[in-house]
């Protein structure tokens, strides 16, 4: 195993912050359609970040998320007046962390811990507050700083700039394989949090470690010291 990790950066949504509350809110507004709406919303949210990065037409993640919600509702023929849209959007401001997150963060407190997310600063600050993890991280880094989204190398480069460490001493953790691939190509040690037991994408890179819960990262890092 690779030695010398000084900092660990985490993706936010789906890695630290549990989005099942978003699905639940969707289902309350549209009974029986919550899962379909939230899945399409999330898929389009990611797709729009990639398309906007490729075309050089940046909007912050809040705007991207709202555009994705509008598309998803239209696609599923769901009426979404401004009040409903506002309520669904605000679900991203009131998130919990997965049950394995707090014990993991406590056990890894000897490292510089950071969040690196496409989320806007407002969204990340609200999620931190809601989940009760404010002050745990040395830095909470938003792609908004460079006006492009992951997996652009410019976003991953923010970690070493903000934390004052070299890329070779950074560990990166995400539940998204495409995110792992982006971090790996930037020289980070990577851990894929494969909560859903998905197959690896065919992107010519592999994570250094795969875990199905984040508490397993404690043992992994313990074996690297």
Question: Is the separation of the CB atoms in 70 and 179 below 8 Å?
Answer: no
Q: Are residues 101 and 116 in the same domain?
A: yes
Reported as a single tens digit per residue, the pLDDT across 168-194 is 999 999 999 999 999 999 999 999 999
> Which of residues 39, 62, 93 is at a domain's end?
93
CA distances from 146 to 114, 118, 120, 128 (A): 17, 10, 11, 21
**Which pLDDT band holds residue 39 (cuts at 50, 70, 90)?**
very high
Q: Are residues 25 and 12 in the same domain?
A: no
Q: Are residues 24 and 132 in the same domain?
A: no
> Which of residues 39, 73, 93 is at a domain's end?
93
pLDDT at 1 over 50: no
Over range 30-52, report the average pLDDT.
98
C-alpha 202/C-alpha 221 separation (Å) is 26
Residue range(s) defining the domain that contains residue 37: 20-93
Give the list of residues 6+ apart from residue 17 with CB closer than 8 angstroms, or none.
95, 96, 97, 98, 127, 131
The one catalytic residue in 11, 18, 100, 144 is 11
Domain CATH for 55:
1.10.150.240
Q: Are residues 54 and 151 in the same domain?
A: no
Domain CATH for 208:
3.40.50.1000
pLDDT attached to residue 2: 52
Q: Are residues 65 and 159 in the same domain?
A: no
Q: Is residue 25 part of a domain?
A: yes
pLDDT at 64 over 80: yes
C-alpha 13/C-alpha 45 separation (Å) is 12
Question: Is the separation of the CB atoms in 37 and 73 below 8 Å?
Answer: yes
Q: Are residues 178 and 217 in the same domain?
A: yes
Q: Is residue 158 part of a domain?
A: yes
pLDDT at 29 over 80: yes
151-157 long-range Cβ contacts below 8 angstroms, 24+ apart: 151/178, 151/179, 151/181, 151/182, 151/183, 151/185, 152/53, 152/182, 153/182, 153/185, 153/186, 155/116, 155/118, 155/182, 156/116, 156/182, 156/183, 156/186, 156/188, 157/186
pLDDT attached to residue 222: 81
**Which pLDDT band holds residue 223 (cuts at 50, 70, 90)?**
low
Q: How many domains does the chain have?
A: 2
Reported as a single tens digit per residue, the pLDDT across 133-144 is 999 999 999 999
Establish whether 60 is a catalytic residue: no
Q: Are residues 82 and 107 in the same domain?
A: no
Reported as a single tens digit per residue, the pLDDT across 104-157 is 999 999 999 999 999 999 999 999 999 999 999 999 999 999 999 999 999 999
**Which pLDDT band holds residue 11 (cuts at 50, 70, 90)?**
very high
Q: Are residues 40 and 150 in the same domain?
A: no
> Which of residues 93, 112, 147 is at a domain's end?
93
Q: Is residue 2 part of a domain?
A: no
Q: Are residues 102 and 159 in the same domain?
A: yes
- Please give the full DSSP string across the chain, using - where no structure is assigned: ------EEEE--BTTTEETHHHHHHHHHHSTT-HHHHHHHHHHHHHHHHHHHHHHT----HHHHHHHHHHHHHHHTT----HHHHHHHHHGGGS-EE-TTHHHHHHHTTTSEEEEEESS-HHHHHHHHHHHT-TTS-SEEEEGGGTTS-TTSHHHHHHHHHHHT--GGGEEEEES-HHHHHHHHHTT-EEEEE-TT-PPPP-SS---SEEESSTTHHHHHHHTT-
């Amino acid at each position: 195993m690779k030695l010398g990790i000084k900092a660990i950066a985490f993706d936010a949504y789906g890695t630290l912050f549990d989005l099942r509350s978003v699905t639940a809110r969707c289902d309350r507004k549209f009974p029986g359609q919550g899962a379909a709406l939230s899945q399409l919303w999330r898929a389009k949210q990611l797709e729009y970040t990639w398309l906007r990065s490729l075309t050089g037409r940046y909007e912050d993640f809040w705007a991207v998320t709202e555009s994705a919600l509008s598309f998803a509702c239209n696609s599923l023929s769901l009426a979404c007046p401004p009040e409903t849209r506002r309520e669904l959007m605000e679900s991203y401001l009131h998130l919990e962390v997965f049950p394995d997150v707090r014990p993991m963060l406590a056990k890894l407190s000897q490292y510089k811990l950071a969040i690196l997310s496409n989320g806007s600063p407002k969204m990340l600050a609200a999620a931190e507050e809601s989940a009760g993890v404010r002050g745990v991280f040395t830095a909470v880094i938003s792609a908004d700083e460079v006006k492009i989204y992951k997996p652009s190398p410019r976003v991953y480069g923010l970690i070493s700039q903000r934390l004052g460490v070299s890329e070779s001493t950074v560990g990166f953790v995400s539940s998204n394989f495409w995110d792992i691939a982006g971090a790996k190509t930037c020289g980070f040690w990577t851990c894929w949090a494969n909560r859903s037991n998905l197959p690896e994408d065919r992107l010519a890179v592999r994570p250094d470690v795969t875990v199905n819960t984040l508490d397993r990262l404690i043992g992994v890092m313990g074996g690297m010291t």
